[in-house]
Amino acid sequence: MTLLSVRDLSLQIGRTPILQGVSFDVARGEVFGLVGESGSGKSMTALALMQLLPHGALAAGRADLDGTDLLSLSERRMCALRGNEIGMIFQEPMTALNPMRTIGDQVAETLVIHGAATRREALRVAREKLDRVGLTAGRFPLTRFPHELSGGQRQRVCIAMAVALRPKLLIADEPTTALDVTTQAGILDLLKGLVAEEDMALMLITHDLAVVAGVADHVAVMERGRIVEAGRTEAVFRTRAHDYTRRLFAASSHQPDRAAQATEAPLLQVRAARRDYLLPRPSPFAASPKLTAVKDVSFTLHAGESLGLVGESGCGKSTLTRAILGLDPLQGGEILLKGAPVGPNMPRAQRAGVQVVFQDPYGSFDPRHKVARLVAEPFHLAPAPQAEQRDRVAEALAAVGLASADADKYIHEFSGGQRQRIAIARALIIRPELIVLDEAVSALDVRVRAQILDLLADLQGRFGLSYLFISHDLSVVRAVTDRVLVMRAGEIVEEGRTEAVFNAPTHPYTRALLSATPRIPEGWIDG
Amino acid sequence: MRLPLTLILGAALTAFFLGLALVSFVWTPYPMAAMDIAAKLTPPGPAHWLGTDTYGRDVLSQLMVGGRTSIAVALVAMGIGISGGVPLGLWAAARRGSLVDEVIMRGNDLIFAFPSLVIAILITAILGPGAFNAILAIGIFNIPVFARVTRGGALSLWTLDYIRAAQVAGKGGARISAEHVLPNIANLLIVQGTIQFSLGILAEAGLSYVGLGAQPPTPSWGRMLADSQTMIYTAPLLAVFPGLAIVATVLGLNLIGDGLRDLLDPRLRRK
């Protein structure tokens, strides 16, 4: 039975059209997946339904929820509806809760605002809902504060808030994108269970085809403000009638063309490396407690090799990365690059041997400098005359597929994918032996990601580079690395050739990681 | 490239008052200190454009000469605050969490703990009253203001990837602060600068009021404002003119601040 029926929804902000003729139906007890790349308009569709659009946005069309047109309701009527008949959960659980109030209060608040219960009654319901989302009374009393919970637990609180009033429609905008794979699997299961139990409709917005494949009954694929293909998930995924859907699929399972070129010569040696943090003192006279983020980690990266480092958030991979880059000192063990020690005080020539590409293409560049100056920054380590620097900037930009004229532009003139190319050009410019790729493709859309992975494979072949590829995304690591390390709680728990580890994982943690990774069913892809 | 309209307007307004102050070095309608008791408290008219004060001195001439003192005191005091406070703030942020950071910031707190007027009285009591010592007193109080604003702005930048990229490129704290941090907190400093400038004019007025600023007969906008206070019912215009001069100059500087922010930010720059 159709609950939400959207017809010819269009939206423009200023004069820019954002959505054009979007139509779809969502039925009770069903999961509807809305898939697309960033900027395709999927979040805007959700915000239009909630009438939470940014200032200056103009929506037209119809969106009937149980016979009422949401788009024509007054703000007062919408307030009564939001949280009551439509619940919503967002991507970032870390900022979605008020840090000053207890989780019980926040779940109960929804009920009190809508006049559905007295405070006492609301707290009872809050307890019930928190139990339902898996936060049991024993470990998670209502008096807990958000900072005492992990990201996944906070997302569960958000879900409890969203379903507290048993809404007919739940909108989830990238609910698991900020979470680790093992946490993601739990949240998706929870959402699926709630849909079945409460007979509500779930509109799941995501960029991840595999997540949709595992959860959604129906799916719509969005490109530049239009729905290009829609239908039952399996049918859409099997036939892939539209060209854009085909391209998305090809990109998400893309395998860059790379030849193994690893040698036996060790390039980076990490020997029993240990990193401690001092935590705040519990009292003015107590010693600062220590947190060991990296516990006696050892591994070797060979020249020309691609080594993957996989682990969930908080496992210590970022801390280890900082030590490998020579930004932080070690508290034990040593890190050697080409046989010489790495540390905050290493000589410039030594530092020039390793460069880095970060995750966020938007935060990686000083907005006040032109591309030429940004890319030339590492010349600080290997000084070269001005003319030569200019030539090499042009050369590096060409190597990553950009024009030499781009050197005179500012960074805000580029898209995320182009910025990541510029970041790679900056890392390449002084020809380091090792490039650390710190979640370098995690923030990119699948098609851009495929291009960047191709570029990395190509550059590796041409310049004989070695990569340390740090990621939480197992499928990407599988596609581009020779060997892989699995890290958990500051320790390497498994190490081996990538194919061997992925096909026959020996450590239980690796097995858990692999089985939690969402996957498009095998049978759907071939053909 | 087109200059932002705010910058043009602000520069024109500020230039007008700065021009008046500069012209006063060579010409004023009447000698600044010349008293004409018979013509005291004349309303504005053809002889005295802005009227005369309680001693029969020409208000326009006083305003022109007073502008020199007020603008100079506020500008130099702001300069002292920026040149002292910004490097300290950058240093504290680059060494965040260290002893250096603690010492700098607690030192700031110490200065903040005293009201500016008390410090100013202390300094002028030791060094003697006068415009120069007023500058010193106001300037010293500006230092912790800029140090705090700078450190706050810089701290959030130090967590960004492009700062890490610069560290990976082997650059040290001082160099990163100058190349990446300072240009990106310039907005904050410009805004704070215009605020401190206006506060400087007011602080100078306050010091003059208690007799520790510019000494008579040297006028300043603040002194004129303070002097006119007793006549507020008989000759309200006496307070209006220096007040307007202060407001218009501060407005002009604020507009310049906004314009500079737009001009310096490549993202806001129009093609």
- Give per-residue burial for B83-102: e unless 16+ CB within 10 Å, then b: ebbbbbbbbbbbeeeeeebe
pTM of the entire structure? Answer: 0.81
Contact B168 A368 (CB under 8 A): no
Q: Which CATH architecture describes the domain A2-100+168-252?
A: 3-Layer(aba) Sandwich (3.40)
Is residue B53 within 8 Å of residue B238, measured between CB atoms? yes
Contact between B168 and A426 using a beta-carbon 8 Å cutoff:
no
Q: Which residue has the higher pLDDT, B35 or A62?
A: A62
B174 and chain A: CB distance < 8 Å anywhere?
A: no
β-pair partners for A297: A273
Q: Closest Cα to residue B257, out of B183, B192, B202, B182?
A: B192
Asked if B165 lies within 8 A of A351 by C-beta distance, the reply is: no
- pLDDT band with cut points at 50, 70 and 90 for residue B271: very low
Q: Which two tokens stand for residue A376?
A: 């030339």
Distance (Å, whole) CA B78 – CA A473: 52
Residues A29, A66: contact at Cβ < 8 Å? no
Say yes or no: B97 contacts chain A, CB-CB below 8 A: no
Q: How many CB atoms lie within 10 A of CB A405?
A: 10
- Rounded to 10 deg, the angle between the B5-23 and B59-94 helix axes is 130
Domain tally, chain B: 1
Domain presence at residue B30: no
SS3 A180: coil
Q: Is residue B212 part of a domain?
A: yes
The answer to whether residues A214 and A31 touch, using CB atoms and an 8 Å cutoff, is no
Q: Is residue B252 part of a domain?
A: yes
pLDDT in tens, B224-236: 887 888 888 888 8
B166 neighbourhood in chain A, CB within 8 Å: 377
Residue B92 lies in a domain: yes
B162 CB within 8 Å of a chain A CB: yes
Question: Domain for residue B129, yes or no?
Answer: yes
- Inter-chain contact B170–A348, Cβ cutoff 8 Å? yes
pLDDT > 70: percent of chain B: 98
B43/A contact by beta carbon, under 8 A: no
Q: What is the CATH number of the domain that holds B241?
A: 1.10.3720.10
Measured over the CA atoms of residue A28, residue A165, residue A177 and residue A50, the dihedral's sign is positive
- Asked whether the beta carbons of residue A380 and residue B265 sit closer than 8 angstroms, the reply is no
A135: which 2 tokens?
Answer: 């936060």
Q: Residue B30: what pLDDT?
A: 81
- Over pLDDT 90: what percentage of chain B? 22
Domain residues for the domain of B259 are: 5-13+58-264
Cβ contacts below 8 Å, chain A against chain B, sum to 60
Q: Which residues of A touch B265 (CB under 8 A)?
A: 367-368
pLDDT beneath 70: ranges in chain A: 526-527
Output the pLDDT for position B1: 58
Please write the tens of the pLDDT for every residue from A423-468.
999 999 998 999 999 988 888 888 888 989 999 999 998 888 999 9
Within-domain flag for B257:
yes
Report the residue of A368, A428, A439 to disrupt the B interface, i.e. the one with the largest count of B CBs within 10 Å.
A368
Residue A367 and residue B169: Cβ atoms within 8 Å?
no
Contact B168 A325 (CB under 8 A): yes
Cβ of B157 under 8 Å from any chain A Cβ?
no
B165 touches chain A (CB under 8 A): yes
A319 close to B (CB below 8 A):
no
Q: Please determine, for residue B89, whether its predicted confidence score (pLDDT) is greater than 50.
A: yes
B266 contact residues in A (CB cutoff 8 A):
367-368, 410, 412
Cβ of A321 under 8 Å from any chain B Cβ?
no
The span from the CA of B215 to the CA of B230, in Å, is: 19
A378 reaches B (C-beta below 8 A):
yes
B residues 214-253 near A, CB within 8 Å?
none
Write down the ipTM of this complex. Answer: 0.74
Q: Give the integer Cα–Cα distance in Å for A431 and A238.
A: 44
pLDDT value of residue A30: 93
Task: Check whether B205 has a pLDDT greater than 80.
Answer: no
Identify the band that residue B197 occupies on the pLDDT scale cut at 50, 70 and 90.
confident
Taking an 8 Å cut-off on Cβ atoms, the answer to whether A352 and B170 are in contact is yes
**Is the CB of B170 less than 8 angstroms away from the CB of A367?**
no
Subunit contact A368:B161, Cβ cutoff 8 A: no
| Domain presence at residue B28 | no
- Rounded to an integer, the average pLDDT of B150-166 is 90
Report yes or no on B75 lying in a domain.
yes
